Structure 1
Amino acid sequence: MKALSNAPHRGGLTTANGFFFMRVPKNYSGDYRADCLKFERENGLENFVGFMTAADVEKVLAVSRSGNVTAYITAGITNPAIAGEVPPPWKPGTINIAVVIEDGLTIGAMANAIMTATEAKTYTLLKLGYNATGTTSDGIGVFAFEGEKEWAGTATELGIDIGRAVRKALEESLKKWEKSRE
């Protein structure tokens, strides 16, 4: 599939066989390039896009499907931030979103899907009472087959499915994260 992401491992626009969420210590300051490559190799993966998180992936991973869209999310929000405002002192906490779309999209539609997923993330945070648009270290990736579908915004069926999948998975992941902190 084509992948468009800001992931630390194989981010940007690439062709990928999949993605992974890699757990790191809360005060991680290692060589992320080397560490992600090592994780990929140790797990028998090749050409994967890799995201990092201090959250316990097994405890906070949430998956939701709507139509041809599946959202995979890990959330920790100890460092909430609002776009355009000076963030509070840094603490570990990341929302990682991987959206897998089983349709053929143009690269422009993949960028549109990132926008739609981000809007869904922001709405969910605000709806749940977090005074934030995200965290200071969020990751997002869209994975889709190459194709002719040009739009993935909120006015399209694909955009509606993206929004539903992201909102449901993020809400579930945040509830799991809050419970894991108890």
Structure 2
Amino acid sequence: MKSKLGEGYFTDDHFIFKLNEPMVCLSNAPHNSGLCKANGFFFMQVDENYSGDYKTDCRRFEDEYGLKDFVGFMTATLIKKTLTHTKIGDVEVFVTVGLKNKAIVGESNENGWGTVNMVILIDRGVTIGCLVNAVMTAIEAKTYTLLKLVNATGTTSDCIAVFGFEGEEEWAGTATKLGFYIGRAVRTALEEGVRRWFSLKTF
């Protein structure tokens, strides 16, 4: 899976995306969360009943595959079956979908396992505030899509990462072209991911 920004590939049941050059990343991913400069990201597939030390296991994953300064996600969904990729304008979105523990925010939710992981790559120079704004726009798009398709606002373990280059662009809300690209790309990728997840018939 090639793009202008790098190249992604499957190895075993996992997916790794190596950037051509480091990008600034803001995320709540299990590995290298917060604000960092990253060389790429990975989606690591784990067992449905996984209960390990995720920090140790993610570090081990980096070592095993020769990675350094990657942002890492974990999921029990079948990555090869549910991973989707959409490019609109100068935004690329990667999504994995697992919905067994779909949830509605503000309500008590204790349903099984499942995660929606989203990675947004922005091929622009942006501020940290713009990355925060991009997260907001992406979550709005995710919430709208899941409410429409499965009557949920997310799952109990969703994660997101937004990548961009250091620069001066400040805004990524719905009134901006960048925000439009993010919203449309997230909706497109997530709609396809939900369709693929339902096709697995594992629920």
Q: TM-score range by the shorter chain?
A: over 0.9
Distance 1:62 1:44 in 2: 24
Q: Which residue in the other structure is 2:54 paired with? A: 32
Distance 2:106 2:111 in 1: 16
Q: Which is bigger in relative contact order (C-alpha 8 A, separation at least 6)? A: 1
Q: Which residue in the other structure is 1:151 paired with? A: 171
The yes-or-no answer on 1:177 pairing with 2:197 is yes
Aligned equivalent of 1:61, options 83, 108, 133: 83
What is the letter of the counterpart of residue 145 of structure 1? Answer: F
Q: Which residue in the other structure is 2:71 paired with? A: 49
Aligned equivalent of 1:136, options 156, 159, 166: 156
The yes-or-no answer on 1:18 pairing with 2:40 is yes
Distance 2:176 2:62 in 1: 35
- Count of residues in Structure 1 that have an aligned counterpart in Structure 2: 180
Contact 2:27/2:159 (8 A) holds in 1: yes
Distance 1:99 1:41 in 2: 24
Distance 2:201 2:45 in 1: 16
CA deviation after TM superposition for structure 1 residue 104, in Å: 0.6
What is the letter of the counterpart of residue 199 of structure 2? Answer: K
CA deviation after TM superposition for structure 1 residue 90, in Å: 3.3
CA deviation after TM superposition for structure 1 residue 40, in Å: 1.3
Secondary structure of 2:100 counterpart: coil
The yes-or-no answer on 1:94 pairing with 2:115 is yes
CA deviation after TM superposition for structure 1 residue 86, in Å: 1.2
Which stretch of the first structure deviates more once superposed, 110-119 or 170-179? 170-179
Root-mean-square deviation (CA), in Å? 0.9
Aligned equivalent of 2:139, options 94, 105, 118: 118
Structure 2, unmatched stretches of 5+, are 1-22
* Identity across the alignment (%): 59
Q: TM-score, normalised by structure 2?
A: 0.87
Distance 1:90 1:99 in 2: 27
Cα deviations by residue, 1:38-91 (Å, 9 ceiling, x for unpaired): 11111121110001100011110000011000000000111011111111x231
What is the letter of the counterpart of residue 152 of structure 2? Answer: A
Secondary structure of 1:64 counterpart: strand
Contact 2:102/2:111 (8 A) holds in 1: no
Q: Which residue in the other structure is 2:17 paired with? A: none
CA deviation after TM superposition for structure 1 residue 7, in Å: 0.3
What is the letter of the counterpart of residue 12 of structure 1? Answer: G
CA deviation after TM superposition for structure 1 residue 174, in Å: 1.1
Which stretches of structure 1, 4 residues or longer, exceed 4 Å deviation after superposition? Answer: none
CA deviation after TM superposition for structure 1 residue 180, in Å: 1.5
Secondary structure of 1:172 counterpart: helix
Structure 1, unmatched stretches of 5+, are none
Distance 1:15 1:57 in 2: 25
What is the letter of the counterpart of residue 146 of structure 2? Answer: L
Distance 2:195 2:65 in 1: 28
Q: Which residue in the other structure is 2:26 paired with? A: 4
What is the letter of the counterpart of residue 99 of structure 1? Answer: I
